[in-house]
């Protein structure tokens, strides 16, 4: 079985450190994961940057709720991005939609420009768009590094066929990062049926979910599955 990178979503220093200790190779840094993730504090990134040797990608999301942002909110999030970039962020996680739930290309373009070459990841707002295939092509055109998606389903295991289709459509031009309910019990099936090389999972403070995923992946490598 090919190697699978595990990205951990965390909202505290304890969870971030536990995730990396458990084997996560990339961290999505947020606050308030219970609401889907918001922009983390600058203090949290400043604390973690010298303590972690894996990429740290902060979420850029200024409030709970939908993903339609007015001009003032965009300016607020651009200011957050600039502050976090100066503190050593390795990229950013962001998503914006229009009223019809299509990709807000103007907002996305401003974030990509502000990132100044650092990777930008489109989060699971992607799954709210009415046409995932069309949305994927838009993100490719914008230069988005990868998209976090459950294939439009509540959980990635339920959207596995759509995830496989998105992988075929991406043709290596954008990364497909499955997320949503991934754990040790379903990571094999998701990876095998989609061909993905990375997965995304929330990490609690003890790191047990990530540790379980890593153990499951290692076991599958050992038995050649």
Rounded to whole angstroms, how far apart are CA atoms 127 and 135? Answer: 9
Supply the CATH number for residue 60's domain: 3.20.20.380
- Kindly give the residue spans of alpha helices, DSSP state H, lying in 53-104: 71-86
Range of the domain at 91: 5-223
Rounded to whole angstroms, how far apart are CA atoms 164 and 176? Answer: 9
In this prediction the pTM is 0.94
Render pLDDT for 152-202 as a digit per residue (tens, 0 to 9).
999 999 999 999 999 999 999 999 999 999 999 999 999 999 999 999 999
Residues forming beta bridges with residue 149, ordered by sequence position = 178
Q: In this structure, what DSSP letter does residue 161 have?
A: H
pLDDT value at residue 48: 98
Do you know the residue count of the chain? 225
Render pLDDT for 6-61 as a digit per residue (tens, 0 to 9).
999 999 999 999 999 999 999 999 999 999 999 999 999 999 999 999 999 999 99
How confident is residue 219, by pLDDT bands cut at 50, 70 and 90?
A: low
CA atoms lying within 13 Å on the CB side of residue 29: 31
Judge contact between 138 and 104, C-beta under 8 A: no
How confident is residue 218, by pLDDT bands cut at 50, 70 and 90?
A: confident
Rounded to whole angstroms, how far apart are CA atoms 24 and 114? Answer: 27
Q: Is the pLDDT of residue 225 over 90?
A: no
Total domains in the chain come to: 1
Q: In this structure, what DSSP letter does residue 200 have?
A: E
């Amino acid at each position: 079985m090919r190697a699978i990178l595990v990205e951990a979503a965390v909202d505290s220093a304890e969870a971030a450190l536990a995730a990396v200790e458990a084997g996560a190779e990339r961290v999505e840094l947020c606050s308030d994961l219970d609401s889907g993730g918001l922009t983390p504090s600058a203090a949290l990134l400043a604390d973690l940057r010298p303590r972690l040797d894996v990429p740290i990608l902060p979420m850029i999301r200024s409030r709970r709720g939908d993903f339609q942002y007015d001009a003032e909110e965009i300016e607020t999030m651009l200011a957050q991005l600039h502050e976090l970039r100066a503190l050593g962020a390795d990229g950013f996680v962001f998503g914006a939609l229009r009223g019809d739930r299509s990709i807000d290309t103007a907002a996305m373009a401003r974030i990509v420009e502000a990132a100044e070459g650092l990777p930008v990841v489109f989060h699971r707002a992607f799954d709210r768009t009415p046409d995932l295939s069309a949305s994927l092509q838009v993100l490719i055109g914008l230069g988005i590094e990868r998209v976090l998606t459950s294939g439009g389903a509540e959980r990635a295991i339920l959207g596995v066929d759509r995830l496989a289709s998105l992988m075929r459509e991406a043709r290596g031009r954008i990364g497909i990062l499955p997320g949503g309910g991934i754990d040790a019990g379903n990571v094999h099936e998701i990876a095998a049926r989609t061909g993905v090389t990375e997965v995304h999972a929330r990490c609690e403070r003890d790191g047990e979910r990530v540790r379980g995923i890593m153990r499951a992946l290692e076991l599958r490598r050992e038995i050649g599955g």
